Amino acid sequence: MSHPRFDPAACDTLAECVKEIERTTDAELVIVVRARSGNYAHADYLLGLLLAFVTLLFLLFSPFTFHEYWVPIDVVLAFAVGSFISSRSNGLRRLFSREKIRSGAVRTAAAAMFYDAGIANTNAGMGVLIYLSLLERKLELIADRGVLKKVPSQDWNRELFELHQVGKEPEPVSFKSAVQRFGKLLATHVPATGENPNELPDRPQFDLK
């Protein structure tokens, strides 16, 4: 059974969701979904080294006879195959990388996006970023001062917890529902006044390559 994917249809659905939310709030909501936030070449190399080591042990202690010149060739090929397989698997990259590194990569990428995309530069300080990174299964929520001043910390932390939970098992339907719930929080504490123009694009940014 196939699982729903973050595809163009999901992007369209989320774009409509953002438009609906921004009709009820002065906050400027931006959604970013990325395939990954870091370079996990170290995880690929680690699996490659592991497979190369296992191959070397097999060649050295196998009851079969191999010509000596095949040993380095087979070890290098095993390393290349292991690295390639890891580079195509989010699960293996998670397995062979540390949680701290993955979390740090997502936080850094989200913070950079908050500034690079102009979310931090809205006139009234109303920018909000929801940043979801699929490989790491992490979600970051960053809001500008105008929003943080108006939303009670207890309510904010509750919604932040719910969004983080959705980020652990990311899929479009639950993600959209979490965004809609967060939109209700914004509508309650940062209601639309009609004085705040739409300064940021409503369409989510999908980078899934």
pLDDT value at residue 183 = 96
Count of CB atoms within 10 A of residue 19's CB?
13
Averaged pLDDT, 5-20: 94
CA 189 – CA 152 distance, rounded (Å): 8
Mean per-residue pLDDT of the chain = 92
The more confident residue out of 32 and 59 is: 32
Q: How confident is the model at residue 96 (pLDDT cuts 50, 70, 90)?
A: very high
Count of CB atoms within 10 A of residue 127's CB?
26
Distances in Å between the alpha carbon of 17 and those of 76, 94, 154?
Answer: 50, 31, 24
CB contact set of 146 (below 8 Å; sequence gap of 6+): 122, 124, 125, 126, 190
Digit-coded pLDDT (tens) for 99-152 = 999 999 999 999 999 999 999 988 889 999 999 999 999 999 999 999 999 999
CA 134 – CA 82 distance, rounded (Å): 22
| Phi-psi map region of 176: left, alpha, beta (phi>0 left; psi -120 to 50 alpha) | alpha
